[in-house]
Amino acid sequence: MAGSCGLWRQETKVTMTELPAPVRTAMQKATAGSTVMQIEKIESGGKVTYEVEYRKDGKDHETHFAEDGSIVKGAH
Residues of the chain with pLDDT under 70: 1-6, 74-76
The CA distance from 44 to 41, in Å, is: 10
Whether residue 3 is contained in a domain is answered as no
Whether residue 1 is contained in a domain is answered as no
Whether residue 44 is contained in a domain is answered as yes
Question: What CATH code is carried by the domain that includes residue 29?
Answer: 3.10.450.360
Domain count of the fold of the chain: 1
Whether residue 68 is contained in a domain is answered as yes
Whole domain around residue 35: which residue ranges? 10-72
Whether residue 61 is contained in a domain is answered as yes
Residue 48, classed as helix, strand or coil, is strand
On whether the CB atoms of residues 40 and 50 are closer than 8 A, the answer is yes
pTM for the model stands at 0.83
